[in-house]
C-alpha cells in the first residue's frame, strides 16, 4: 500500500464520479453528508476502489428512482464512511457469506446483473489491509448499509495515543 494522508471527501467524490453514468442511467439520486475536514492515512487508489465497489453494488441492487446516501465523519478513534441504499436488501442468513469470493445471493444471480461475486471480497481484503473493518446492516426490501471504519493514522509511534 502507498500510504499518505487523504481527504475522505475527495476519495468519495472520485468514486462517485467513476460510478456516475451507471447511477444516472438508473435515475438513482445521491445525497452526501460529511465533514469536509476528515482525513485518513490510506492508499487513495485502493480507497477509491473500495467505494467504487460499494457504490456499484448499491446501484446494481436498487430500483430506479431510489436514493443512495453517503455519510462520512469521525468518532473518537475512527473514521467512518457509510453507504446506504434503498434496494432489495440482504437476508440475515446471507450476511456471513457476502464477503466470500464468487458468492452471490440467488436473487442477484436471477436478476442477471452480470457480476462475478468478487467485489465485496476485494473490499474486505482492502479494508483489512488498512487495519479497518466493514459492517453491514440490511432489511430485505428496505435497503442496505455498508459502513467502513478506518484508523485515522497507521503509525504506532508512542505519543500519538492519548488514552
Ligand atoms: P462483482 O464481482 O461484479 O462485484 P457482485 O456484485 O455479485 O459481483 P459482490 O459485490 O461481492 O459481487 O456482492 C456479493 C453479493 O452480495 C451480490 O451478488 C449481491 O447478492 C449481494 N449484495 C452486495 N451488495 C448489495 C447491496 N447493496 N444490496 C443488496 N445485495 C447486495
Ligand atoms: Mg459487486
Q: Which ligand lies nearest the alpha carbon of 103?
A: 1
Contact 95, 138 (CB under 8 A): yes
Q: Which ligand lies nearest the alpha carbon of 120?
A: 1
Res 66: pLDDT: 98
Place of cell 509511534: 157
Pocket of ligand 1 contains residue 61 by CB under 6 Å = yes
Ligand 1 centre distance from Cα of residue 53 (Å): 9
Q: Which ligand lies nearest the alpha carbon of 59?
A: 1
> Residue whose CA is closest, atom 23 of ligand 1?
57
Mean pLDDT for 139-143 is 97
| Prediction ipTM score | 0.99
- Note the pLDDT tens digit of each residue in 54-78: 999 999 999 999 999 999 999 989 9
Pocket of ligand 1 contains residue 88 by CB under 6 Å = yes
C-alpha to C-alpha distances, 3 to 44, 78, 90, 93, 123, nearest whole angstrom:
8, 17, 33, 36, 17
Q: Which of 16, 11, 130, 4 is nearest to 78 (CA)?
A: 130
Res 159: pLDDT: 45
- With cut-offs at 50, 70 and 90, classify the pLDDT of residue 161: very low
The Cα–Cα gap between 30 and 44 comes to 22
Pocket of ligand 1 contains residue 126 by CB under 6 Å = no
Pocket of ligand 1 contains residue 55 by CB under 6 Å = no
Place of cell 444516472: 24
Ligand 1 centre distance from Cα of residue 27 (Å): 20
The Cα–Cα gap between 65 and 73 comes to 27
- With cut-offs at 50, 70 and 90, classify the pLDDT of residue 114: confident
The percentage of the chain sitting over the pLDDT mark of 70, rounded to a whole number, equals: 90
Pocket of ligand 1 contains residue 54 by CB under 6 Å = no
pTM metric for this prediction: 0.93
Amino acid at each position: 500500500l502507498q500510504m499518505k494522508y487523504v481527504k475522505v471527501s475527495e476519495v468519495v467524490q472520485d468514486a462517485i464520479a467513476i460510478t456516475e453514468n451507471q447511477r444516472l442511467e438508473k435515475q438513482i439520486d445521491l445525497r452526501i453528508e460529511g465533514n469536509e475536514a476528515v482525513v485518513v492515512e490510506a492508499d487513495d487508489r485502493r480507497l477509491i476502489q473500495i467505494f467504487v465497489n460499494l457504490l456499484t453494488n448499491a446501484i446494481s441492487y436498487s430500483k430506479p428512482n431510489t436514493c443512495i446516501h453517503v455519510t462520512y465523519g469521525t468518532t473518537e478513534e475512527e473514521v467512518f464512511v457509510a453507504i446506504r441504499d434503498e434496494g432489495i436488501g440482504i437476508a440475515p442468513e446471507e450476511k456471513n457469506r457476502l464477503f466470500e469470493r464468487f458468492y452471490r445471493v440467488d436473487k442477484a444471480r436471477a436478476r442477471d446483473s452480470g457480476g462475478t461475486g468478487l467485489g465485496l471480497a476485494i473490499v474486505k481484503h482492502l479494508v483489512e489491509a488498512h487495519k479497518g473493518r466493514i459492517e453491514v446492516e440490511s432489511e430485505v426490501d428496505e435497503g442496505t448499509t455498508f459502513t467502513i471504519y478506518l484508523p485515522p493514522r497507521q503509525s504506532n509511534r508512542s505519543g500519538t495515543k492519548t488514552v
